[in-house]
């Protein structure tokens, strides 16, 4: 094998890592908001990703059955709907369950783990026990060829653009908007925030809903690179927690750097080793780094 061929394979593997990076980053952004800003360990976060993926699938099925002429345009509205449906479910979960468990991290872990199992069973019973795939529009199929030996999938470019848009939006919301100031104030001192007139209960509800909605966007992005099943979201939950903890909870820059590092490390190691060994080596590296720097890449914030 020539050096050019090896270089092309490594480049394509690196782009494959970017596809994993986009899903991990979108998942981690939502989880960083919920875990970092609210102190809630949401083990059902992967199921909110699955909600987003199933929304896109249902839009695809409705389009094929009732409006086949809209096949080329349905996907973007489906992505928007995935965000709002996942956010609405998250809002309901916060009102009915999470709001009673603040400052009880172990209880939130157990409760949301039970919620994840219940949601998986709901997907099996009312959607499909098997994996399903959305019918993608033509403009998401195929690939560009920057060189004769390198192919860049169009769906990967779309997902990357969506990820950049969401990341910039979350940054502006959390750091530049009045709502972001309320969230950060509630995180740093809940009692004082309430004393100065901030409705902390309302902040909690909409923050949790926002995190779940972003997970729904991750699910919508996931439909372009894989099929969706009842347990698809749970397959990413461990990696997502690793991204948040490694990057430093409540730190968006840390989440971005951590997601990129983990995704690229796994993808490039899989080029030389097996998938299982790549995950093991990545995990061991993260553990060693966290032993040296327990706060992660960037300092964390703790809810008081």
Q: Looking at the domain assignment, is residue 70 inside a domain?
A: yes
Q: Looking at the domain assignment, is residue 297 inside a domain?
A: no
Q: What is the pLDDT of residue 304?
A: 43
Domains in the chain, number: 1
Nearest to 18 by CA among 160, 200, 168, 120: 160
Q: What is the pLDDT of residue 288?
A: 81
Cα 45 to chain centroid distance, Å, stands at: 8
Going by the DSSP 8-state scheme, the letter that residue 98 receives in this structure is: G
- 153, β-bridge pairs: 143
Q: What is the pLDDT along the chain (304 residues), one digit of tens a residue?
A: 555 555 555 555 556 667 777 888 888 888 888 877 777 888 899 999 999 999 999 999 999 999 988 989 999 999 999 999 999 999 999 999 998 887 787 888 889 999 999 999 999 999 989 999 999 898 888 777 766 666 777 888 888 889 889 989 988 988 888 888 888 888 777 788 888 888 888 888 999 999 999 999 999 998 988 889 999 888 888 788 888 877 766 667 777 788 878 777 777 777 667 777 777 787 788 778 777 777 666 655 544 4
- Nearest-Å Rg of the Cα atoms of the chain is 20
The dihedral region occupied by 45, where left means phi > 0, alpha psi between -120 and 50, and beta the remainder, is alpha
Which residue segment(s) compose the domain that 95 sits in?
3-292
Q: Looking at the domain assignment, is residue 304 inside a domain?
A: no
Q: What is the pLDDT of residue 132?
A: 93
The answer to whether residues 205 and 217 touch, using CB atoms and an 8 Å cutoff, is no
Q: How many Cα atoms occupy the beta-carbon half-sphere of 60 within 13 Å?
A: 19
Q: What is the pLDDT of residue 2?
A: 56
Q: Looking at the domain assignment, is residue 128 inside a domain?
A: yes
Q: What are the angstrom distances between the C-alpha of 173 and each of 3, 78, 114, 169, 177?
A: 45, 23, 31, 6, 5
Q: Looking at the domain assignment, is residue 106 inside a domain?
A: yes
Q: Looking at the domain assignment, is residue 299 inside a domain?
A: no
Nearest to 58 by CA among 93, 82, 83: 82
Q: Looking at the domain assignment, is residue 123 inside a domain?
A: yes
Q: What is the pLDDT of residue 119?
A: 95
E strand segments, the chain: 143-147, 150-153
Q: What is the pLDDT of residue 11?
A: 57
Calculate ∠ Cα 270-32-92, nearest 5°: 120
The domain that holds 195 is classified in CATH as 1.10.3470
Q: What is the pLDDT of residue 216?
A: 94
């Amino acid at each position: 094998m020539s050096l050019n061929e090896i270089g092309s394979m490594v480049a394509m593997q690196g782009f494959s890592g970017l596809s994993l990076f986009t899903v991990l980053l979108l998942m981690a952004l939502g989880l960083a908001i919920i875990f970092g800003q609210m102190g809630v360990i949401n083990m059902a976060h992967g199921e909110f990703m699955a909600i987003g993926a199933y929304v896109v699938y249902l839009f695809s099925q409705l389009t094929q059955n009732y409006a086949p002429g809209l096949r080329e345009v349905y996907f973007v509205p489906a992505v928007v709907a995935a965000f709002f449906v996942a956010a609405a479910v998250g809002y309901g979960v916060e009102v009915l369950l999470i709001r009673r468990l603040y400052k009880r991290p172990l209880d939130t872990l157990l409760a949301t783990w039970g919620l994840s199992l219940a949601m998986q069973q709901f997907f099996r019973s009312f959607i499909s026990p098997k994996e399903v795939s959305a019918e993608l529009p033509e403009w998401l199929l195929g690939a560009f060829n920057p060189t004769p030996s390198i192919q860049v999938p169009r769906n990967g470019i779309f997902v990357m653009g969506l990820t950049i848009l969401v990341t910039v939006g979350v940054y502006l919301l959390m750091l530049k908007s009045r709502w972001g100031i309320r969230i950060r104030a509630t995180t740093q001192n809940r009692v004082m925030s309430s004393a100065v007139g901030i409705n902390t209960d309302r902040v909690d509800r909409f923050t949790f809903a926002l995190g779940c909605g972003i997970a729904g966007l991750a699910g919508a992005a996931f439909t372009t690179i894989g099929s969706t099943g009842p347990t698809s979201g749970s397959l990413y939950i461990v990696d997502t927690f690793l991204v948040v903890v490694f990057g430093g909870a409540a730190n968006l820059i840390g989440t971005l750097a951590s997601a990129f590092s983990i995704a690229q490390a796994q993808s490039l190691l899989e080029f030389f080793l097996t998938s299982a060994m790549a995950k093991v080596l990545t995990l061991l590296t993260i553990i060693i780094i966290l032993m040296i720097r327990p706060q992660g890449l960037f300092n964390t914030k703790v809810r008081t």
